[in-house]
């Protein structure tokens, strides 16, 4: 078609054809241009659009959390990519819905509380103390400004504050506790016998198995003898780490980067102070408060008279953490202490001793030791960090440029990696045979295995670029393919015979058990039945549902049985997980004695129920808010 156009289209006709081709492409381009929501945002909640970069932060957090739970098991259903994306989107939409509701209902988060929460995060601390430089650098490395980050934290705090107000209303009544405790502490008297499949297997050993019987069992359970489908791979890889050494460092670029990030290199003013605390407990009487104040006045007078502040703090301060260091609190920035304490310290001069300062902790006497003025780190101090960041960014830019070339070459030449490898000077590497659920090398990565067994790659095509690590991409293709097969009957005959006899024994146990159960329900003597079948009959005293001496399957079944009528026995048969068959008798059931339940156990159960109910109330609130909100999701951007 294109060749025909080139050969025959001339002059006016050629221009008509070109215009007809251009128009739809132009319209598609304009359409994409105007549809900025679906290109930029992942969701819209009422009038608020949620940007992709904010979703990405939650997504990475969700992925790291799940990874911490399953370790290296990327095949775990818990690491399902669609599940992670769905969970991350739900989290960010839920937060936005709750935040809007909180705002509409007058909830707010003050600057002091916001700063306190941020300062208490270990990510931003050095030696247990908030580090402003670390804070700014971490945000910059994640392309976040302090204003954006603090707005996100404030929004999340408001959302949590709002939903917590509802969750805290959940209550558990004493009546509910009594009912549940009676069930939990219930005791039952039971008896049981177990017909062992292994014992019946010995009786079946003399029976001659026919070839047909063996073949039928093999065919029925042939998947037990499957040899899984496997493939081996060829692949080429790109990694930003491999490009770091090739990056040329431009000093002017580093200076420009320094100027761009200079706000993140600021060191705010910090002050070092000592204090003596005379503690006042919550709810203290007026007399206790007066006594604490008098003690603090006396200690301050002793300081002013010339006694060592450090020694007085060691001997008298109720702040055990700082008392051992003579009351030394180390350096701290504005906003790190409670407001009353903070306001006084940042008005003092070095060497000053404050008047008494009242805070929720009690009375403080403060001495200012040093002032570290605000400053900005010099270029020389941060040059190494800037160079590392510059190299990483440049390597990443080069990687994505190369990735575009690799994508095009491997797509345009789908049946080989050789052309891409030659033009880009890459080495074609190999991975030996592996199955869908495990592998070595890059095949240890679940994403690689999934792609390797996809219909596209199995058809002989190159894969699309796969991200198997941070800035580490590979393109794979199948080198060799071994289809799923089955070990032949002649090879596994002994295994089939063993399985067949095991199966027959379990069926025999269930058949015999069912027959005996029917006899016992008809009034037969269980002791006689047990003796005739050479099994032990065991009768228990009243036991609890958590009795550790009992077989868990038997105990669970016994506590699921209906209450027997007075003077009668309830019978039930149970096929155990190992193929044995149990017959259980339930003689009586007694409700738990609440007088035997200590307050600690009662409180533990109440707290557990309250947490569960609170979570349910919170979830119901969020669902209700989402039902009332106008929510649009752009799933193609996840």
Residue range 283-293, pLDDT digits in tens: 889 999 999 99
Written as six digits, the tokens of 131 are: 């580090």
Q: Fold match between 230-252+382-483 and 269-373? A: yes
pLDDT of residue 396: 77
In sequence order, what are the beta bridge partners of 274?
A: 328, 367
In angstroms, the CA 43 to CA 59 distance is 14
Q: Inform me whether the pLDDT recorded for 216 exceeds 70.
A: yes
Can you give the pTM of this predicted structure?
0.50
CATH number attached to the domain at 230-252+382-483: 3.10.50
CA 582 to chain CA centroid, Å, is 41
In angstroms, the CA 468 to CA 450 distance is 12
Which of the four pLDDT bands, split at 50, 70 and 90, describes residue 9?
very low
Assess contact for 421 and 427: CB atoms under 8 A. Answer: yes
Average pLDDT over residues 30-43: 53
Q: Inform me whether the pLDDT recorded for 460 exceeds 50.
A: yes
Which of the four pLDDT bands, split at 50, 70 and 90, describes residue 318?
very high
Instruction: Choose the weakest-confidence range: 80-89, 144-153, 461-470, 545-554.
Output: 144-153
pLDDT of residue 75: 67
Which of the four pLDDT bands, split at 50, 70 and 90, describes residue 451?
very high
In angstroms, the CA 363 to CA 279 distance is 7
Q: Inform me whether the pLDDT recorded for 496 exceeds 70.
A: yes
* Exposure b/e, 489-499, CB count within 10 A at least 16 = b: beebeeebeeb
pLDDT of residue 242: 67
Average pLDDT over residues 313-335: 90
Q: Does domain 269-373 have CATH number 3.10.50.40?
A: yes
In angstroms, the CA 369 to CA 361 distance is 22
pLDDT of residue 53: 80
Q: Inform me whether the pLDDT recorded for 308 exceeds 90.
A: yes
In angstroms, the CA 319 to CA 361 distance is 9
> What is the chain's mean pLDDT, rounded?
85
* Secondary structure of residue 403 in the 3-state scheme: helix
Average pLDDT over residues 520-529: 94
Residue with the larger pLDDT of the pair 603 and 515: 515
Q: Inform me whether the pLDDT recorded for 394 exceeds 60.
A: yes
Q: What percent of the chain has pLDDT over 70?
A: 92
H or E element in which residue 538 lies: strand 538-539
Average pLDDT over residues 157-183: 85
Q: Give me the architecture of the 42-169+627-637 domain, per CATH.
A: Orthogonal Bundle (1.10)
Q: Residue with structure tokens 């071994």?
A: 482
Q: Inform me whether the pLDDT recorded for 62 exceeds 80.
A: yes
Who contacts 342 (Cβ-Cβ below 8 Å, separation ≥6)?
A: 334, 335, 336
In angstroms, the CA 132 to CA 421 distance is 47
pLDDT of residue 24: 40
Average pLDDT over residues 80-105: 89
Residue range 235-253, pLDDT digits in tens: 999 887 766 667 777 888 8
Query: To 5 degrees, how large is the angle CA 614–CA 87–CA 45?
Result: 85
Average pLDDT over residues 373-396: 80
Q: What percent of the chain has pLDDT over 90?
A: 45
Instruction: Choose the weakest-confidence range: 335-349, 362-376, 395-409.
Output: 395-409
pLDDT of residue 33: 34
Q: Inform me whether the pLDDT recorded for 11 exceeds 50.
A: no
Phi/psi of residue 171, nearest 5 degrees: -130, 155
Average pLDDT over residues 404-419: 92
Average pLDDT over residues 49-62: 85
Q: Inform me whether the pLDDT recorded for 81 exceeds 90.
A: no
Residue with the larger pLDDT of the pair 444 and 4: 444
Average pLDDT over residues 100-106: 87
In angstroms, the CA 452 to CA 187 distance is 56
Residue with the larger pLDDT of the pair 202 and 320: 320
Which of the four pLDDT bands, split at 50, 70 and 90, describes residue 376?
confident
pLDDT of residue 72: 60
Residue range 542-551, pLDDT digits in tens: 999 888 888 9
Domain ranges of the chain: 2-34, 42-169+627-637, 186-225+492-590, 230-252+382-483, 269-373
Residue range 106-134, pLDDT digits in tens: 888 888 888 888 888 888 888 888 888 88
Average pLDDT over residues 502-525: 94
In angstroms, the CA 526 to CA 585 distance is 10
Q: Inform me whether the pLDDT recorded for 598 exceeds 90.
A: no
Assess contact for 309 and 247: CB atoms under 8 A. Answer: no
């Amino acid at each position: 078609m294109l060749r025909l156009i080139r050969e025959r289209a001339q002059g006016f006709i050629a221009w008509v054809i070109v215009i007809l081709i251009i128009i739809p492409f132009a319209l598609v381009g304009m359409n994409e241009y105007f549809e900025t929501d679906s290109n930029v945002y992942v969701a819209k909640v009422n009038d608020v659009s949620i940007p992709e970069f904010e979703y990405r932060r939650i997504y990475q957090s969700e992925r790291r959390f799940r990874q911490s739970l399953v370790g290296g098991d990327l095949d775990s259903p818990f690491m399902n990519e669609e599940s992670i994306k769905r969970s991350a989107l739900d989290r960010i939409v839920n937060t936005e819905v709750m935040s809007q509701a909180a705002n509409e209902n007058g909830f707010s988060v003050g600057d002091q509380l916001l700063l306190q929460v941020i300062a208490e995060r270990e990510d931003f601390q050095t030696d247990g103390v908030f580090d402003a430089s670390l804070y700014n650098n971490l945000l910059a490395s994640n392309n976040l400004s302090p204003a954006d980050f603090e707005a996100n934290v404030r929004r999340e705090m408001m959302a949590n504050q709002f939903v917590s107000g509802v969750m805290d209303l959940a209550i558990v009544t004493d009546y509910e506790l009594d009912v549940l405790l009676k069930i939990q502490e219930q005791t039952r008297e039971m008896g049981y016998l177990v017909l062992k499949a292994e014992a019946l297997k010995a009786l079946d050993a003399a029976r001659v198995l026919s070839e047909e019987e063996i073949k039928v069992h093999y065919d029925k359970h042939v998947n037990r003898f499957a040899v899984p489908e496997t493939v081996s791979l060829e692949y080429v890889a790109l990694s930003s780490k491999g490009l770091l050494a090739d990056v040329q460092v431009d000093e002017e670029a580093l200076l420009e980067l320094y100027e761009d990030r200079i706000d993140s290199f600021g060191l705010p003013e910090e002050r070092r102070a000592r204090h003596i605390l005379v503690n006042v407990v919550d709810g203290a009487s007026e007399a206790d408060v007066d006594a604490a104040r008098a003690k603090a006045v006396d200690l301050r007078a002793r300081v002013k008279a010339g006694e060592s502040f450090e020694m007085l703090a060691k001997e008298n301060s109720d702040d055990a953490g700082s008392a051992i260091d003579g009351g030394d609190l180390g350096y701290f920035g504005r906003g790190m202490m409670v407001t009353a304490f903070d306001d006084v310290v940042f008005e003092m001069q070095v060497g000053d001793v404050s008047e008494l300062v009242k805070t929720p902790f009690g009375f403080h006497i403060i001495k200012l030791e040093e002032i570290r003025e605000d400053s900005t780190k010099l270029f020389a101090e941060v040059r190494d960090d800037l160079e590392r960041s510059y190299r990483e960014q440049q390597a990443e830019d080069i990687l994505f440029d190369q990735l575009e070339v690799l994508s095009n070459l491997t797509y345009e030449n789908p049946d080989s990696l050789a052309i891409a490898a030659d033009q880009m000077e890459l080495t074609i590497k190999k991975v030996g045979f592996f199955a869908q659920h495990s592998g070595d090398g890059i095949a240890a990565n679940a994403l690689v295995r999934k792609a390797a067994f996809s219909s596209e790659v199995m058809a002989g095509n190159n894969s699309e670029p796969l991200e198997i690590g941070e800035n580490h991409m590979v393109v794979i293709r199948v080198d060799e393919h071994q289809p799923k097969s089955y070990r032949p009957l002649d090879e596994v005959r002994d295994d089939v015979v063993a399985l067949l006899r095991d199966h027959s024994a379990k069926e025999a146990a269930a058949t015999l058990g069912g027959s005996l159960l029917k006899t016992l329900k008809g009034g037969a003597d269980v002791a006689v039945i047990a003796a005739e079948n050479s099994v032990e009959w065991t009768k228990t005293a009243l036991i609890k549902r958590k009795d550790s001496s009992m077989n868990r399957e038997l105990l669970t079944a016994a506590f699921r049985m209906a209450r027997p009528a007075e003077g009668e026995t309830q019978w039930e048969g149970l096929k155990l997980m190992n193929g044995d068959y149990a017959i259980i008798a339930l003689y009586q059931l007694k409700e738990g004695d609440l007088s035997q339940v200590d307050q600690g156990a009662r409180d533990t159960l109440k707290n557990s129920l309250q947490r569960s109910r609170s979570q349910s109330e919170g979830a119901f609130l969020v669902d209700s808010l989402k039902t009332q909100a106008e929510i649009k999701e752009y799933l193609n951007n996840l």
